[in-house]
């Protein structure tokens, strides 16, 4: 006889609620409400800040969604400030935004926050959100997060992770003590429309249905990030796996997209096996590359050279000052009986010595700075793109700098790199001097270019551009190419869709709007003018660029005036060398530029 049905009691309900809360906390750790404040004196007026990929990263930039509802009775301007780090951290980052919201309306927008590279911070990060508006009390919230050290920073769509994330988290924890979780969960609707929002990640795992549902703005931003080195793992439900005849989840294809790639997987539509996590074991993160690729064997830094600190000049100046302020001052300028002159002579000697030190520094180091930079600009004019993606590495040395910050018209991501330890390297992992980098719109404030220092940066940018090489067709078996670049072409290399190599005859110069008179070449490797520029990049970026050599339907070029293809930083830096290499897919070619999910 069956027992009669008994409704659950309060104890059972409480236990269920606790379990549900624990589970909800596990699956919601990607999107977190890092700030929320409701103004009690104004009904239905609040500010909310939501993280998309978690609250912190080990490098790059992460996106946040800000929602402001204003029913306060008048139009107000809110200031939202995001910062990571504190006064005890070696490097703090900060971003400030202002939003004007009319009364009776609601604003929802995306913002981003850059993060200090791992070698200048700690793995335990602190996010602080402060919000203020005129006539309303200021509010602040903080949140901490422990980041993975020996594992790339990943994000996974909810469809893929909702039944697997807890087990995958546990799996990676058993692989290493410095890996607190496998990936951050995200909702595809919240994916950023700005490519900068993806740069804090090493890879994204997304299901095909979600990938196909992305808006054009989201798709373009994701494509731009991939072309600059991002990685997307795309999971498609295998009909055989879904029916149970073959439950194996495996990689089925890989597509290179400029410096990044799209990896295609089959899965059963239910759970991801531990093998997916194993795929990322041992893979270097971008944070590791910023630390390890530039402290030695960086060809650009080696060609730029080093500067050693010379203490002799400082010792001589201090010695002269000591002689003047003591024996000369006491026994000549202010002899016994005239000691009252010390109140005049000592300040004069001190000021004169300071002026002398300033003059010596100006004479030795000068004003402004000098640097080298290497750039690869990837031109992708295809449908759905029409963009120029720029990767720039640079090193510079400064003298006297009045303003260490700068302003740029190019939306870009700028990451300090770990240069070899020296007296002039303020971003060295061995230096403990704290600093704050602040981004306010197009303004980069903080000690980016300190006086008398060396600094190295990796800068990435993606912007709309009509600059292109056009493929008009094939005439007599020869590609009919036209230059729409902003400068004269001095060198040109093109591998057509069939794999044939075409080059510009030596000594030929092609002006904008002219046809490129290519001839077939029998080259077993890329020309020296290509490999010479690529060899100046750091190890990881160099290896990524080298994969483009054999890519069909891709060109490389060098132009006479490359300034249009570099990302300007501080105007006081004189660039003694700018090595710029252009590459891309010709417009009019049959090969699509933007990625499409498999059918």
Pick from 581, 555, 557: nearest CA to 494 = 555
Cross-strand bridge partners of residue 51: 32, 64
Spatial contact of 594 and 219, defined as CB atoms under 8 Å apart: yes
* pTM score: 0.86
Give the gyration radius of the chain's Cα atoms: 29
Residues sharing a CB contact under 8 Å with residue 326, sequence separation 6 or more, in sequence order: none
485 burial level (CB within 10 Å; 0-12, 13-18, 19+): buried
Q: What is the average pLDDT across 213-219? A: 96
451/400 Cα distance (integer angstroms): 5
CATH architecture of structural domain 31-146: Sandwich (2.60)
67/75 Cα distance (integer angstroms): 15
Q: What is the average pLDDT across 489-500? A: 94
Report whether CATH 3.40.50 matches the domain 154-292: yes
116/85 Cα distance (integer angstroms): 9
- 547-589 confidence digits (pLDDT tens): 999 999 999 999 998 888 999 999 999 999 999 999 999 998 5
Q: What percent of the chain has pLDDT over 70?
A: 89
282/168 Cα distance (integer angstroms): 16
Q: What is the average pLDDT across 425-432? A: 68
Least confident of 44-53, 276-285, 590-599: 590-599
Q: Which helix (H) or strand (E) holds 156?
A: strand 154-157
- 472-487 confidence digits (pLDDT tens): 999 989 999 999 998 9
Q: Is 4's pLDDT higher than 50?
A: no
- 152-195 confidence digits (pLDDT tens): 999 999 999 999 999 999 999 988 768 899 999 999 999 999 99
Q: What is the average pLDDT across 124-148? A: 94
- Fill in the DSSP letter of residue 297: -
Identify the residue with better confidence: 57 or 322.
57
Give every strand in the sheet of 105-114, ordered side by side. Answer: 32-38, 46-51, 61-70, 105-114
Map out the domains of the chain as residue ranges: 31-146, 154-292, 311-365, 366-594
Structure tokens belonging to residue 257: 């997209």
Structure tokens belonging to residue 479: 């590609």
Pick from 581, 488, 583: nearest CA to 532 = 581
534/538 Cα distance (integer angstroms): 9
Q: Is 2's pLDDT higher than 50?
A: no
Q: What is the average pLDDT across 488-512? A: 94
HSE-up (13 A, CA, CB side) for residue 74: 6
Q: What percent of the chain has pLDDT over 90?
A: 63
498 burial level (CB within 10 Å; 0-12, 13-18, 19+): exposed
Alpha carbon 159 to its chain centroid, in Å, reads 27
Pick from 417, 467, 408, 150: nearest CA to 297 = 417
pLDDT reported for residue 432? 62
Spatial contact of 542 and 534, defined as CB atoms under 8 Å apart: yes
pLDDT reported for residue 247? 57
390/501 Cα distance (integer angstroms): 25
Average pLDDT score, the chain? 87
pLDDT reported for residue 15? 44
DSSP E strands, 26-152: 32-38, 46-51, 61-70, 76-84, 91-101, 105-114, 124-133, 136-146
pLDDT reported for residue 119? 86
């Amino acid at each position: 006889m069956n027992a009669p049905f008994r409704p659950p009691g309060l104890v059972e309900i409480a236990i269920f609620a606790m379990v549900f809360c624990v589970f909800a906390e596990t699956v919601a750790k990607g999107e977190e409400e890092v700030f929320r404040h409701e103004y009690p004196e104004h009904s239905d007026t609040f500010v909310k800040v939501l993280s998309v990929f978690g609250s912190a990263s080990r490098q790059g930039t992460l996106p946040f969604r800000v929602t402001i509802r204003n029913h306060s009775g008048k139009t107000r301007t809110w200031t939202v400030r995001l910062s990571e780090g504190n006064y005890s951290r070696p490097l703090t980052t900060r971003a400030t935004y202002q939003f004007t919201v009319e009364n009776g309306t609601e604003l929802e927008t995306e913002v981003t926050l850059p993060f200090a590279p791992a070698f200048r911070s700690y793995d335990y990060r602190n996010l602080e959100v402060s919000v203020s508006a005129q006539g309303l009390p200021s509010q602040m919230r903080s949140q901490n997060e422990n980041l993975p050290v020996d594992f790339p920073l990943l994000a996974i769509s909810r469809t893929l992770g909702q039944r697997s994330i807890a087990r995958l988290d546990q799996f990676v924890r058993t692989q290493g003590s410095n890996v607190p979780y496998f990936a951050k969960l995200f909702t595809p609707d919240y994916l950023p429309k700005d490519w900068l929002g993806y740069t804090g990640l090493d890879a994204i795992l997304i299901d095909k249905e979600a990938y196909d549902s992305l808006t054009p703005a989201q798709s373009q931003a994701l494509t731009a990030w991939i072309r600059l080195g991002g990685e997307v793992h795309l999971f498609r439900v295998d009909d055989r796996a879904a029916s149970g005849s073959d439950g194996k989840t495996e990689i089925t294809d890989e597509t290179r997209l400029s410096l990044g790639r799209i990896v295609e997987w089959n899965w059963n539509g239910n759970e991801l096996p531990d093998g997916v996590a194993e795929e990322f074991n041992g893979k270097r993160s971008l944070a590791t590359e910023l630390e390890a690729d530039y402290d030695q064997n960086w060809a650009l830094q080696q060609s730029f050279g080093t500067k050693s600190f010379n203490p002799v000049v400082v010792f001589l100046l201090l010695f002269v000052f000591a002689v003047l302020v003591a024996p000369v001052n006491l026994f000549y300028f202010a002899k016994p009986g005239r000691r009252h002159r010390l109140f005049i002579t000592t300040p004069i000697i001190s000021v004169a010595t300071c002026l002398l030190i300033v003059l010596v520094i100006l004479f030795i180091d000068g004003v402004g700075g000098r640097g080298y930079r290497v750039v690869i600009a990837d031109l992708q004019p295809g449908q759905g793109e029409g963009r120029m993606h720029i990767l720039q590495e640079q090193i510079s040395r400064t003298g006297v700098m009045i303003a260490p910050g700068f302003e740029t018209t190019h939306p870009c991501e700028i990451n300090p790199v770990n240069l070899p330890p020296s007296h002039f390297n303020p971003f060295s992992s061995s230096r403990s001097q704290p600093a704050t980098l602040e981004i306010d719109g197009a303004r980069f404030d903080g000690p980016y270019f300190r006086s008398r220092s060396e600094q190295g940066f990796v800068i990435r940018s993606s912007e709309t551009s009509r600059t292109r090489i056009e493929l008009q067709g094939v005439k007599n078996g020869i590609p009919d190419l036209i230059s729409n670049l902003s400068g004269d072409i001095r060198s040109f290399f093109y591998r057509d869709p069939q794999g044939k190599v075409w080059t510009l005859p030596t000594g030929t110069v092609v002006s904008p709007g002219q046809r490129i008179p290519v001839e077939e070449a029998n080259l077993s490797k890329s020309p020296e003018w290509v490999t010479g520029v690529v060899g100046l990049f750091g190890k990881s970026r160099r290896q990524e660029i080298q994969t483009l050599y054999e890519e069909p339907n891709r060109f490389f070029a060098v132009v006479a005036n490359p300034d249009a293809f570099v990302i300007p930083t501080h105007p006081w830096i004189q660039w003694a060398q700018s090595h710029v290499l252009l590459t891309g897919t010709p417009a009019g070619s049959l090969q699509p530029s933007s990625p499409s999910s498999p059918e």
